[in-house]
Amino acid sequence: MTVAEQPEALTFECETGNYHTFCPISCVAWLYQKIEDSFFLVIGTKTCGYFLQNAMGVMIFAEPRYAMAELEEGDISAQLNDYEELKRLCLQIKRDRNPSVIVWIGTCTTEIIKMDLEGLAPKLEGEIGIPIVVARANGLDYAFTQGEDTVLAAMAARCPNKIIESEKDERNPIQKLLNFGQKKEDTDQAESVFVDHPPLVLFGSLPDPVVTNLTLELKKQGIQVSGWLPAKRYTELPILEEGYYVSGVNPFLSRTASALMRRRKCKLIGAPFPIGPDGTRAWIEKICSVFGIEPKGLDEREAQIWQNLEDYLQLIRGKSVFFMGDNLLEISLARFLIRCGMTCPEIGIPYMDKRYQKAELDFLEKTCHEMGVSVPRIIEKPDNYNQLQRIHEIKPDLVITGMAHANPLEARGINTKWSVEFTFAQIHGFTNARDILELVTRPLRRNNNLKDLGWDKLVAEEAQV
C-alpha cells in the first residue's frame, strides 16, 4: 500500500462574479402562487418589468397577483412624492384585489435613489389597513433564489408571537371549516401519534404537495410540524415563540435563518437539505437527533428509493457533471449526484454561506470520500467566460447551466440541463428523488435516441469560443 493519503478537503475559490443568473425579483413568480392572499408590488423600472414578463412566460396571462410600480423620470428626480405615489397604487390594488398583504419588492433603482421603503411601509400600512412587508430583493446584492430569502426574512418578523387564548378559534378559519364535523376526540387521537418534543417550524417555500409529503415523513418519526414559513395564506403564518426549533428546507435561506435565530430567538437545526434520498434521510436523522428520537425504518426506506432509481442510475454512473452556478441549489444537487455515482469537477455557486450550509458541505465531503471520487472545486461568484474555457477543455458529460449558455453549448456537442428547472420542479423528499434524475438524465436519454445520426456538433469551427 502506498502512503495513506490524507482525504482532500473542500476548497473554495472566488472569481469575478461575471455570471448569468435570474434577478432575485423572480421570486414573486413562485411566492405569489404559494401565498394565496398576497399581492407583490415590484417597485422598479421597465427593465425589471421586462424581465418578469419574459421570465414568467405564460403565467403573466393568468391575472397574476403581482404588478410593477413603474418608476418614471419624475420619481427618480423626486419631483413626485414617493409616499403619495405608493399610496395611490396600493389603494388601487386594495380596491381591485383586496389582498391580505402587499409585499413591496425593492429593486436596484429604489436602492440607488434611496427610497425609504422600510420607513414608508408602516405609515402607509396604518393608513390603508393592509399589512405591507418590505423585501429588498435587488440585483445589487442578491442572485435569483436569494430573493425568496429576503421575502421570508421579512415575513419572519410578521409571524405571530404567543397566541392569545381568545383568538385561538378565530385563527385558521378555513382550517376550521375543513374540519367541520370532525369530532374533538379524532383530533386528539391524531395528535397522540407524535412524540413529545418542542415545537418545530420549517422554513422555505415549497409546492403544497411537497409540504404534505415532508410533513408526513416527519410524522412517521413522531415529529409534529407546528407550522411552515410561508404558509398557504399570509393570515396563517406560523406562531414563533422564543425557544422554538426551526429548520430550513432550501440551501438559499441563510438570511431567513439568521432572522429566525437573532430576532425570533429560535434554535436552528443545521442539517443537510432534504434533496435526494440521502439528503432527506440525513435531514430527518438530524432533526430526530436534536429531539432525542431514534429514527425508525430510514435504512430500508432509503435503500428502497435507491433501488427504484436503478434504471436512471445506470445512465449517469461514472459520468461527469459541471455546475455553472446560478441558484444556490448546487451543493445539494452535486452531493446527490455524486452519491448517484457521478463525478463533479466544479460547482459554481453565486454565494456560499459556509455556516448555514455547514452540514450540507460536510455531507458533500463525506459523500465524496465514501464514493471514492475527488472533491469538486467550489467556485463562488463564478466567471462564465472562464467557466466556458474550462468546460471546453474538460468536456464534461453534462453541464447544468442557465438558458443563456444552453443552446450554444448543445451546438458544440456538450449536453446541458437548464438549471432553472430545478427551482420549479419538485425535488424535495424521498418521493421526488426520481424527478431530479428525470431532469438530469433527460439530455442523456435524448442523446441516446439521437446518437447514431452523426450530427452532434452543429456549429462552424471558427465560431468556437
User: Which range in 85-93, 187-195, 249-257, 278-286 contacts other proteins by CB under 8 A?
Assistant: 85-93
Residues 87-106 that bind other proteins (CB under 8 A): 88-89, 92-93
Distance CA 303, CA 309 (A): 10
Helix, strand, coil fractions of the chain, as percent rounded to 5: 50, 15, 40
Distance CA 23, CA 45 (A): 13
Out of 264, 319, 335, 405, the only residue in the binding site for other proteins (CB under 8 A) is 405
Distance CA 311, CA 56 (A): 33
Residues 121-160 that bind other proteins (CB under 8 A): 138-144
Out of 152, 324, 388, 399, the only residue in the binding site for other proteins (CB under 8 A) is 388
Residues 187-216 that bind other proteins (CB under 8 A): 208-209, 212-213, 216
Out of 75, 149, 302, 360, the only residue in the binding site for other proteins (CB under 8 A) is 75
The full length of the chain comes to 465
DSSP three-state, residue 117? helix
340 in a labelled binding site: no
Q: Kindly state the smallest distance separating residue 55's Cβ from other proteins, in Å.
A: 7
Residues 430-449 that bind other proteins (CB under 8 A): 430-431, 433-435, 438
Distance CA 421, CA 157 (A): 30
286 to 315: interface string for other proteins, x by CB under 8 A: ------------------xx--x-------
Distance CA 404, CA 423 (A): 17
Q: How many helices (H) and strands (E) does the chain have?
A: 20, 14
DSSP string, 212-252: HHHHHHHHHTT--EEEEES-SSGGGPPP--TT-EEEESSTT
Residue whose C-alpha is closest to residue 398's, from 281, 306, 320: 320
Residues 233-292 that bind other proteins (CB under 8 A): none
Q: Kindly state the smallest distance separating residue 444's Cβ from other proteins, in Å.
A: 16
> Does position 38 bind other proteins by CB under 8 A?
no
Distance CA 12, CA 14 (A): 7
> Does position 53 bind other proteins by CB under 8 A?
yes
Distance CA 423, CA 197 (A): 32
Backbone angles phi, psi at 220, to 5 degrees: -60, -25
In this structure, are residues 148 and 27 in contact, taking their beta carbons and an 8 Å threshold?
yes
User: Which range in 3-11, 16-24, 221-229, 240-248 contacts other proteins by CB under 8 A?
Assistant: 16-24
Total number of residues binding other proteins (CB under 8 A)? 79
CA 125 to chain centroid, in Å, comes to 29
Q: Which is nearer to other proteins, 281 or 405 (CB)?
A: 405
Q: Enter the C-alpha cell of residue 80.
A: 413626485
User: Which range in 238-246, 266-274, 369-377, 403-411 contacts other proteins by CB under 8 A?
Assistant: 403-411
Q: Which is nearer to other proteins, 109 or 254 (CB)?
A: 109
Q: Kindly state the smallest distance separating residue 293's Cβ from other proteins, in Å.
A: 20
288 in a labelled binding site: no
Q: Enter the C-alpha cell of residue 386.
A: 472562464
Out of 59, 80, 120, 293, the only residue in the binding site for other proteins (CB under 8 A) is 80
Q: Kindly state the smallest distance separating residue 219's Cβ from other proteins, in Å.
A: 10
Cis peptide before 230 (omega within 30 of 0): yes
Distance CA 92, CA 86 (A): 10
Q: Which is nearer to other proteins, 217 or 346 (CB)?
A: 217
In this structure, are residues 194 and 19 in contact, taking their beta carbons and an 8 Å threshold?
no
Q: Kindly state the smallest distance separating residue 378's Cβ from other proteins, in Å.
A: 19
CB-hemisphere CA count at 13 Å for 273?
Answer: 27
Q: Which is nearer to other proteins, 161 or 314 (CB)?
A: 314
Q: Which is nearer to other proteins, 280 or 343 (CB)?
A: 280
Distance CA 102, CA 378 (A): 38
Q: Kindly state the smallest distance separating residue 9's Cβ from other proteins, in Å.
A: 29
In sequence order, which residues have a C-beta less than 8 Å from that of residue 24 and are 6 or more positions away?
137, 138, 139, 142, 143, 144, 145, 146, 147, 150
Out of 27, 40, 45, 415, the only residue in the binding site for other proteins (CB under 8 A) is 45
Q: Which is nearer to other proteins, 332 or 384 (CB)?
A: 384
> Does position 186 bind other proteins by CB under 8 A?
no
Q: Which is nearer to other proteins, 255 or 264 (CB)?
A: 255
Which residues make up each annotated binding site for [4Fe-4S] cluster? Answer: 23, 48, 108
Which residues make up each annotated binding site? Answer: 23, 48, 108
